[in-house]
A and B are shown apart, each in its own frame.
Chain A
Amino acid sequence: MAAPETIRSASRPHISISGVSKTFQGRQGPVQALQDINLSIEKGEFVSILGPSGCGKSTLLMLLSGLLPVTKGRIDVDKKHIDGPNADAGIVFQQDVLLEWRSALQNIMIQAEIRKSNIPEARERARQLLKMVSLTDFENSYPKELSGGMRQRVSICRALLHRPPLLLMDEPFGALDAMTRDQLQIDLLRLCSDNDMTVFFITHSITEAIFLSDRVVVMSPRPGRIERIIDIDLPRPRRLSMREDAKFIDYTRELTGIFKSLGVFREEY
């Protein structure tokens, strides 16, 4: 099944998650990670998942990517039933998962090698992406020679190389300093609108979720359920200064309130 690279961007995913549950067979019996998740995501939409540690955010991402099977329910992406790895997606895992025998550039290029895309063209794009995350000088460095934040930035570039119509990100900016984080949030938003990407974005940060998203999905733990979905009605393109706007602060207050009522104080407060 050799899918031509060119038509990819024309396919616009529309995600529907209906009645999805996930139970792991743990060592001490079954663990229900997710219970009856219903969510549908529009093409080009930016959706953030916000929730305390262990509530099943990463699990939901793994189900969406088709890397783990659902226990119950059904997931469709772009009208295609997900029952195996969805290679169209770009994934930033919670751990950077860099290959230690490859330089930063080669780590990004593995994406092109596996997909057998045009190598010189991909290398050109990989260098552009490295430039975007300010790692131009480190393209030949091995992962061991990079800091945690630099490693995560390389893994973001790897996820973007093949211009995925759907981007799945699991706390991609968690390891970054505040300033790099701000910059990358802006870069990410620009990339999304340029490429018409749909983004499923997991975060621990309320501010980050509001700043980036069209909708914020709040999850509650044990078993993971969707607690609330909040539309973020802020104009685009987003500007960093918007974080001081009254409306933005209202959203922050609202979300904090939800977490307080859930008895969760794990966020950055």
Chain B
Amino acid sequence: MTTTIAETTDDTVIVPKPNMLLRALMAVPPALWTLLVLISIWELSVQIGKVPAYILPAPSAIGAVFFNYWHRLLPNALVTLSEVLIGFIGAVVVGVPLAVMIVYSRAMEKAVYPLIVASQTVPKVAIAPLLLTWFGYGMTPKIVIVILLAFFPIVINSVMGLKSSSREMIYLARSMGASGLQTFWKFRLPQALPSIFAGLKLATVLSVIGAVVAEFIGADKGLGYLILIAGANFDITRQFASIILITLIGVLFFVTLEQMERFFIPWKARSNIAGEG
């Protein structure tokens, strides 16, 4: 597999072409390399230092747990994932329309918005036991906590975004004879989208935290529950495996939202690429 210099079109400098393997390696995002290096250091220090597994397990040991224990990990991960997703969607379904009402109605803005902001000082983790009493042991209290945590950034950012339409833009809409509905769909909402997405991305992180914390307080399923059980059995390795899965859920969720953002706000994405170039 040798490529001659003459064949390549984009090479202006005469440098021997790197071979395929090297090129594939270079395509890996730098952050993954950093991660790989960190994991290697971890593995080596545990091996060389002979750290006992009940203090810090080696990454290879955690990997083995994934392999041998997946029949427990996977169903519990799915439970946590459902709580996160349902709660998040609930927060969006409640939060965005509420933001619209707050922006469009003076009365709502005056009567409701201050309370929403003030309610944020209530430590939601502290009311979790209460929710358990009210909603029982199942998924419901977890979903409610996720909603309570995720709801705030969604409302705040949506309100900010919907309010960011300039006076001139509203004049423009009216000068064309736009109806209230047209003004909302064609002017205010698109203008608000970047801000709404900022809120949604914040909410993804809070959703995952909410679900796990709720499971800590009382559950018989889910990754938070697995962490507690493993802790009771001094099985740090299984705790690590659960933590990694939680992280993975969080990262995937966040990345999915970033992709959706690129899809819904192409004008932003394009300018970012131009900025990086």
Binding site for B on A (CB under 8 A): 62, 65, 67, 85-87, 89, 91, 93, 95, 97, 99-102, 110-111, 113-115, 142, 144-145
> Please, which residues of chain A bring their CB within 8 A of the CB of B174?
67, 85
Is B3 close to A, CB under 8 A? no
Give the contact stretch, choosing among B26-34, B149-157, B185-193: B185-193
Is B169 close to A, CB under 8 A? yes
Smallest CB separation, A259 vs chain B (Å):
28
In the bound complex, do residue B267 and residue A65 qualify as a contact, i.e. CB atoms below 8 Å apart? Answer: no
In the bound complex, do residue B168 and residue A114 qualify as a contact, i.e. CB atoms below 8 Å apart? Answer: no
> Please, which residues of chain A bring their CB within 8 A of the CB of B171?
62, 67, 93, 97
Q: Which 8 A-B pairs have the closest CB atoms?
A: A87-B177, A114-B176, A85-B174, A101-B190, A97-B168, A142-B267, A114-B178, A101-B267
* Residue of A89, A95, A100, A115 with most chain B CB atoms under a 10 A cut-off: A100
* Residue of B173, B176, B186 with most chain A CB atoms under a 10 A cut-off: B176
Q: Render B129-144 as a binary contact track against A, CB cut-off 8 A, 1 for contact.
A: 0000000000000000
Of residues 230 to 275 in B, which have CB atoms within 8 Å of A's CB atoms? 265, 267, 270-271, 274
Q: Render B186-226 as a binary contact track against A, CB cut-off 8 A, 1 for contact.
A: 11001101000000000000000000000000000000000
Known interface pairs A67-B171, A113-B186; A100-B176 also in contact (CB < 8 Å): no
> Please, which residues of chain A bring their CB within 8 A of the CB of B173?
114
Smallest CB separation, B174 vs chain A (Å):
4
Known interface pairs A91-B175, A111-B176; A99-B271 also in contact (CB < 8 Å): no
> Please, which residues of chain B bring their CB within 8 A of the CB of A113?
186
Of residues 8 to 62 in B, which have CB atoms within 8 Å of A's CB atoms? none
User: What are some 25 contacts across the A-B interface (CB < 8 A)?
Assistant: A67-B174, A85-B177, A87-B176, A89-B175, A93-B171, A93-B172, A97-B166, A97-B168, A97-B169, A97-B171, A97-B172, A99-B191, A100-B267, A101-B191, A101-B193, A101-B267, A102-B267, A113-B186, A114-B186, A115-B176, A115-B177, A144-B271, A145-B270, A145-B271, A145-B274
Is B105 close to A, CB under 8 A? no
